[in-house]
Structure 1
């Protein structure tokens, strides 16, 4: 079974949730001209980090060759953007394709296919360098290549003491290919043990079936849903004296605050997620996170985020309260999906606190015979 994503059921208020922070950022930025020799050494030593975007090197040999030729000709190339991290690393915000091309040419192996990195034999490449590797360049050309400088714009957030500014910089500055979506940016900004756990949980075979795709989503939408379950499981959200929450901010804050906790924290979340997914798969089946069509005539084969979060969070609460059953609960879930109040809570104003509370409570009532108020 493969879920249809041609009409993705994510409301604009969730996907296009723009952060409007009242913080004034104190971000220092400066320019630096870095030689290729230093770029190669820093990348090799791990001092310059590639964001973990699950994106492969995408330049073809002609693009790579033209870029290297520009350097050998002494032409200017675009600046790269680097962000200083609290740990002292430099995170690549923009310029990964350029840095990797430089590194590959210097080392002699092209990432594209693992072959020897020789410049293209295309007529677009100057005959002087056509078909050349770094090792077969003249000594003067090798020196010119090593000593060529690339302008880097480096920035560092001083205040506030979090990664909020870095997130917005990634959101606004990154220019490579498609715009990064929120989870791809989180994956860059909040690298750590929590991020590693998300990737691990995303491979859970039962989760893959329930999500509806055997392969991990290339844009990390599946990772975001796991994070959504974790962040919205904080029932303190339901007691806040505000009308609604920003989903983007809640997910950012959860990743930022929990990116490097002790091992028990991650072990507990791994056990919780796997236990809840196993319960859902056993008692609801592979349609568990789908909704009914508007006329209730059939299941609509689309992953429904608000059905997902309400069922998963309610299951977590019920299991933690000791709920057990041998009963197949799918018939109760189908009754729930016809409840007008529940349907309203999963289709409009989904980040209003009252609606989050309502849809979790409805699952608890219909399926588990309990309420949020129960102790």
Structure 2
């Protein structure tokens, strides 16, 4: 790469979580419009405060009336001593911070804030193999190594009868307002990212679809295995972005060019079999798998990564490149792409080296409508190179 070319290519910064590289480039979506109208209409925000016994909440979990967002890996990684200290707090009758639930129209609940705490308590009281053992306690040293069944009956009763304060978001609260509340009040050590929030708010159907899309050999191969079971759910976000543009197109994004809203609405569509029937889901999954196969065929280990001329290192995966190139390649046949591969790669790498507007569109203010348009148009043009 020449000195002039090197000056044109923006720095690539890989996202890091808990000291580990995630394999995904940091994205700067820019300043999006507000998801909801401001100032808020107070009548839109309906939150009531209720008191539940822990026994009641554990019953709701077992009855599937309170959803703990399965597959949410990062929320369930407390150390044994952290789990034990939470249980000790109940035994010492120390009040826990309030929880937040969102109530659905069918009177079921999902956890907005408190997923780690509830998952821990459910595992201790009703978990498989009689739950985990207590360790690293600060005060109740006689209970070291005890499981719930080993506790004296008064202590078991104390845990089950513990009253938890829960703020419940009424189902009449608009979805985008609930999303905003979710963003504001989650109190974990590391705030939830947008996809983690969408996952916690979604229903099993969309979660199952995105999981199937990202648990294939084609996806693992195209992404170099870096997104498999991603701890920040970047794998599901990539599949959701493809789904959003494949199902709805650019016109739908133009109608309300806010990426978070666009992806949240797509999640709701995937959750509704009337909006996206099973046969349409099958077409979506087949198109996604074909896109993954084609991306690997054309770009090899550099698929969905910045790859300017002269650069042979493998950059982290870029979200904007993923959404545009997966869509651009989904409808092509393997024989056609194999014949034109050299031309496509040359065209794409030239653009990543010389086209400053394109580099900006995949690097900064990536949610801007004009930049979204530009990169989709560019990928579509490059995918036709060599014809």
Could you tell me the TM-score, scaled by structure 2's length?
0.79
The structural deviation recorded for 1:132 is 4.3
Aligned partner of 1:144 in structure 2 is: 158
The alignment's C-alpha RMSD in Å is: 3.3
Going from structure 1 to structure 2, the CA distance change for 1:330 and 1:43 (only over 3 Å counts) comes to: same
The structural deviation recorded for 1:115 is 7.2
1:90 aligns with 2:109: yes
Distance 2:358 2:60 in 1: 54
- 2:29 counterpart (5, 8, 13): 13
The structural deviation recorded for 1:178 is 0.8
The structural deviation recorded for 1:153 is 1.7
SS at match of 2:170: strand
Is the Cα contact below 8 Å between 1:193 and 1:259 reproduced in 2?
Answer: yes
- 2:76 counterpart (46, 50, 57): 57
1:226 aligns with 2:239: yes
- 1:40 counterpart (55, 58, 83): 58
Is the Cα contact below 8 Å between 2:68 and 2:119 reproduced in 1?
Answer: no
The structural deviation recorded for 1:348 is 4.9
Equivalences for 1:70-149 in 2 at 5 Å?
Answer: 70-107=89-126, 117-120=132-135, 122=137, 124-126=138-140, 129-149=143-163
Distance 1:315 1:48 in 2: 40
Give structure 1 stretches of 5+ with no counterpart.
none
Give structure 2 stretches of 5+ with no counterpart.
1-12, 16-20
- 2:328 counterpart (314, 319, 338): 314
Equivalences for 1:1-375 in 2 at 5 Å?
Answer: 9-13=25-29, 17=32, 19-22=34-37, 24=41, 26-52=44-70, 53-55=72-74, 57-107=76-126, 117-120=132-135, 122=137, 124-126=138-140, 129-160=143-174, 163-214=175-226, 215-233=228-246, 236-238=249-251, 245-261=257-273, 262-293=277-308, 296-302=309-315, 303-318=317-332, 324-339=336-351, 340=355, 342-343=358-359, 345-368=361-384
**The structure with more radius of gyration:** 1
The structural deviation recorded for 1:250 is 1.2
Is the Cα contact below 8 Å between 2:294 and 2:337 reproduced in 1?
Answer: no
SS at match of 2:302: coil
Distance 2:45 2:284 in 1: 34
Higher helix share: 2
Q: Deviations for 1:29-52, whole angstroms, at most 9, x for unmatched residues? A: 222221222122222222221123
Could you tell me the TM-score, scaled by structure 1's length?
0.81
Distance 1:360 1:74 in 2: 57
Is the Cα contact below 8 Å between 2:199 and 2:207 reproduced in 1?
Answer: yes
The structural deviation recorded for 1:174 is 1.0
Going from structure 1 to structure 2, the CA distance change for 1:186 and 1:29 (only over 3 Å counts) comes to: same
More displaced 10-residue stretch of structure 1: 75-84 or 51-60: 51-60
